[in-house]
Amino acid sequence: MNKPVAISFHVPPKMWSEFQESMLKSRMFNEEVIGFFFCQRHQVSKRKIRYIPKTWVVPSSDCYEHQSATGLILKQPFHSYLLENYLQPGLDVVHIHTHAGRGMPDFSYIDDRYESEYAQFISSGFPQKPRLISGVFDEDFQSCQFRMWDRKGRKFEKVKFCNSLFEVATNEDEMNNPDLMFARQKIFGEANQRLLNELKVALIGCGGIGSIFAELLGRLGVKNWVLIDPDKLETLNLNRMPGATQEMVEQRWHKVYYVKHLIKRIYSEGSCVKTIPTSIESELAKQEIATCDLIVVATDNHLSRKIAQELALEYMRPLVCLGTHIDMKQDHTPRMYCRVTVPPVGGGWCLMCGNIISLQRAALESAPSEIHQMAAGAGYIEGVNDPAVFWLNSICASTGVGVIHGMVSGFLNVDSGIDWVYEFPSSDWRKTNTEYLRSDDCFFCC
């Protein structure tokens, strides 16, 4: 017997807070209210589907023809506006309405009839055949149920609602038997620890930054990994890769196997680490990234970061970009930087439109070797690898892990994205005003 398809609806915390506040403000007493999310569908696997909202709408009181504690009807012009502006682009719709009272709400007979007809109407009236997900909350927005209708409006399947981009495990054994290893992390909550334990991370780049990052995030509780890097260990890597040895270099270890070794030292059992010793451009790498909850890119080239950003946009996944840079001023004193960037999920601004990576460099890196040599000869490409030291990589990696911990725990809001730069020896943290990174005409994210 085939397992049912697992369907989940994920709303970023800030978006959900704003939606919830708008819903509660749109009533005077305990009238029912309705709101809409318009979502992009992502098929994670044959048995798993995620819905991520691109935008939301909550009608004001003048958009209702009728609104009371027992039901509501929207005015036809407002409904036509929703159809024309949001369903035409091919997004699926989530209807969320409230019922009076507290506790777990049930869908009413009227809900069943209306939603069945509406699911059939939108699938037959639009070429993209959008699906209908419906949700009902109690009047305090504390309890809810969600379901998704088939296109004929005859059957529905249960949908899991997540007020997060990530999914918390609900295995009772795990809930009742917390790992003693994480006892000193209880301050962040047991649900947060379960989420970290279940989080699946794609790490692109297992070198000086990526290896430290994996060690730190692994010890925070992350056990599920996809590691992607085509390179092998070299002697010049040993100054900045924890636990790497000359023996590993002589045995020609791939970096992905070395980082897997780091994670397996933390978890002798219970971890799942997939190693892909190829570039991110391979189809296998892209397929595995699609199954992950989070994408982290810690490479030293622009092409891999460009591809990682494109995949994050395609799969509606959070992306964390890590990098460092060292150069010398004219007085021969060093300037050292590390940068942690998290673009907003689904667009608004990205690594390309924010000029955080160079599309010219990315194009040259993907060019045939003859063109690459010509560009290097003309001075477009530096011939020496970027300098790197362990401690600067550690600042970058640990800050990245802190950002992810904040994203998972909810104490750091990244809905609008972040771009942080640390400069040493002045010890300055610079936080980019991301409003200046937003673009209305980016080829990639708009």
Arch. (CATH architecture) of 6-162: 3-Layer(aba) Sandwich (3.40)
Query: What percentage of residues in the chain have a pLDDT greater than 90?
Result: 57
pLDDT at 201 over 90: yes
Gap between the Cα atoms of 277 and 232, Å rounded: 9
Gap between the Cα atoms of 94 and 56, Å rounded: 9
Gap between the Cα atoms of 338 and 240, Å rounded: 15
**Rama region for 382: left / alpha / beta (φ>0; ψ in -120 to 50; rest):** beta
Q: Which two tokens stand for residue 330?
A: 């004219």
- Exposure string over 69-101, b if 16+ CB within 10 A, otherwise e: eeebebeeeeeeebeeebbeeebbbbbbbbbee
Q: Which two tokens stand for residue 173?
A: 């054994």
For the chain, give the mean pLDDT: 88
Give the pLDDT confidence score for residue 254 in this predicted structure: 97
The contacts of residue 349 (CB under 8 Å, 6+ apart) are 343, 417, 434, 437, 438, 439, 442, 445
Q: Provide the CA 420 distance to its chain's centre, in angstroms.
A: 18
65-79, 285-299, 357-371, 372-386: segment of lowest average pLDDT: 372-386
Mean predicted confidence (pLDDT) in 178-199: 87
Give the pLDDT confidence score for residue 315 in this predicted structure: 87
Whether 227 and 206 have beta carbons less than 8 Å apart is answered as: yes
Give the pLDDT confidence score for residue 174 in this predicted structure: 47
- pLDDT tens digit sequence for 211-254: 999 999 999 999 999 999 999 999 999 999 999 999 999 999 99
The CATH number for 180-436, chosen from 3.40.50.720, 3.30.930.20, 3.30.70.100, 3.40.50.880, is: 3.40.50.720
Mean predicted confidence (pLDDT) in 99-120: 92
pLDDT at 175 over 50: no
Query: What percentage of residues in the chain have a pLDDT greater than 70?
Result: 92
Gap between the Cα atoms of 350 and 1, Å rounded: 43
Secondary structure class of 137 (helix, strand, coil)? strand
Name the residue ranges covered by the structural domains of the chain. Answer: 6-162, 180-436
The band of 178, judged by pLDDT with boundaries at 50, 70 and 90, is low
pLDDT at 375 over 60: no
Mean predicted confidence (pLDDT) in 101-109: 91
* 381 against 19, higher pLDDT: 19
